[in-house]
Structure 1
Amino acid sequence: MTEVPSPQLRISDQTRESALSALGEHMTAGRIDIDEYGERSARITAAKTRGELGEIFADLPTPHPQYEDVPRAVATPEPAQEAAPVPKRPGSPENWSPPQRFLAAILPLAWIAAIALIATGTLAWPIIFVPIGLTVFGKSMWGHDWHHDDHHHGRRDRHLRDRERRRELRESYRRELGR
């Protein structure tokens, strides 16, 4: 019989990252919308214990966050699946989520329709703000995934190095306070 850890146990940054990843999967699957994702991700970032994290996922099926001290098979049993092939590039279209694919399909059509409607005189020129707005929305949501320039691929590595540096600074500050 496996002992259930106390909900009062504090969680780590790795657990929070796991929770954010699981929450992203729920949004991709359509179980929660973008507003609820924002609200829950803020709660995940502020969570300090397993109990607080558990409340956020109480109404959602698996996946749930993974804890360091609990093996993955025990934490969330999942059916065996074939390993997905490793993608060639992180931002390639075959890795896009369904909303990204939809926007990538509709965006050129919106530009063509707006230009045609303006050229024929059917609608006034402000209709051009529709495809501009769609473009800005897509860029703000998935901007780094829509570029295939090599300098964008280093963004994640820089982020991870910066986060590790902040973690080291935070730990040294805590050690200084403990003296």
Structure 2
Amino acid sequence: MSSIETKKINAILIVEVMGRPPEHLVETLENIAKQIGTEKGIRLVEKKITSPVLMKDQKDFYTSFAEIEVEVDDILNLAILMFKDMPAHIEILSPQIISLANSGWNDILNELTRRLHGYEEIVRILQNEKMILENKVKEFLPRPNVTEINKEKIKPKKGKK
């Protein structure tokens, strides 16, 4: 990727998880942080994982988050990380100004487009599977007898002549 500035980018990611049991949340966040640190062009600087907290109005359902500081080689690595791990928040700490050549923007926009097309394909597949399941459910639902419905419509009204 061509960038005018070749400084590395430092950023903090907030990754949230929810579920149960609470110890599973900490383990999941540890695994996410570890996986982020193994990505090409990304170095894990620091991680802070909060203790799981019982969610308001939920029985036995917890939430937790990790604050993960990373150093990435370029903005494309940060964009890929954003789509791959879907953090709740990203804050770029440094540098203050990030300049990109056209080719750098092309790389980011093409990655964005590729990911969106992948998500669109998944949505279409799920919509088709949903329609198939709905049709199968309709096959098993009891259907009213057509002759009984017609008899109800034709019945003479009582009391009027």
TM-score by length of 1: 0.24
Larger proportion of helix: 1
Higher share in strand: 2
Give the greater-gyration-radius structure (CA).
2
